[in-house]
Amino acid sequence: MSNPVDKSAITGQNIRQYLTCLAPGDVGEYVLLPGDPARCDRTAKYLKDAKLVANNREHRTFTGTYKGLTVSVTSTGMGCPSAAIATEELCNAGAKVFIRIGSTAAIQEGIRVGDLIVSTGSMKNEGTSRFFVPDSFPAVPDFDLTALLLSTARELSETSVHYGIGSTDDSFYGETPEFIDRLVSYGCINLEMEASGVFTVAHRKGCRAAAIYGCSANLKTSELYYADGTPESGNQKLVDAWEQEIQIALETFYRFHQQRG
């Protein structure tokens, strides 16, 4: 009788990865993780000598340097399945420290469109993480990296910075008013679709991860800019937040590397 395939053996270290098409040497130890491939191009503008090293499916990767530190940016696509794949394959290719950069909807009063939110944990309203850990296992970012990310954001941000526990959801359109009200009652501050998968896989692989978001809408106060079918249409505040979070995340990487010696 034949044995089931061990995927970890096939797509382990020291080979080109199956879905991101990344090989050892393609990426640095520090990687930014936007969802949208187009945001990789936006991020690459801040890297010196940025080079497109892979582009497959929803995963687009540039590698360059920031203040002499080798940094990469890889898009994860939408949702935890593709985000978990990207994180796992990046770890296999040599990445060790991740910051998810993205957009999020706030669900507490006092958070405005264009503000920044740093995650201190994520409620796992998704199915991917249960392949790696029990549902009772928390999805939390690395403490040291998150503390530095928050302090750097407070120092450099031109807008308000918030922090707290968010919710990682599987369904963008499944977030009904009843669902949102329930999360508000729990004290969750935002909704997004990738963080718990990134946190879980990074932890299991012995890597570090954190997350910072630009607020695209507030579903509690109904501050929305969903014009022409996209959150960024007519929403310069969100675009400005993207630019800020990229610069904050890069500076966090640099400071974190300096602290580690």
Q: How many domains does the chain have?
A: 1
Position 232 pLDDT exceeds 60 = no
For residue range 63-85, list pLDDT tens digits in order. 999 999 999 999 999 999 999 99
Q: What is the mean pLDDT of residues 206-225?
A: 94
pLDDT at 112: 96
Is residue 151 situated within a structural domain?
Answer: yes
- Nearest Cα to Cα of residue 128 among 207, 36, 37, 200: 200
Query: What are the tokens at 6?
Result: 């061990």
CATH of the domain at 78: 3.40.50.1580
For residue range 100-152, list pLDDT tens digits in order. 999 999 999 999 999 999 999 999 999 999 999 999 999 999 999 999 999 99
What is the domain range of residue 39? Answer: 14-260
Q: Which amino acid is at 87?
A: T
- Write the DSSP assignment of 41-102 as a string of letters: HHHHTTSEEEEEEEEETTEEEEEEEETTEEEEEE---SSHHHHHHHHHHHHHTT--EEEEEE
Is residue 221 situated within a structural domain?
Answer: yes
Dihedral angle, C-alpha 75, 80, 84, 90, nearest 10 °: 10
Is residue 136 situated within a structural domain?
Answer: yes
Is residue 1 situated within a structural domain?
Answer: no
Is residue 26 situated within a structural domain?
Answer: yes
pLDDT at 230: 59
Is residue 196 situated within a structural domain?
Answer: yes
Say if residues 146 and 252 touch (Cβ distance below 8 Å). Answer: no
Distance CA 59, CA 43 (A): 14
Give alpha helix (H) positions in the chain: 7-10, 37-44, 80-92, 143-156, 177-186, 195-204, 236-260
For residue range 158-179, list pLDDT tens digits in order. 999 999 999 999 999 999 999 9
Phi, psi of 105 (to 5 degrees): -100, 125
Confidence (pTM): 0.95
Is residue 5 situated within a structural domain?
Answer: no
Roughly how many angstroms between the first and final C-alpha of the chain, as a whole number? 52
Is residue 239 situated within a structural domain?
Answer: yes
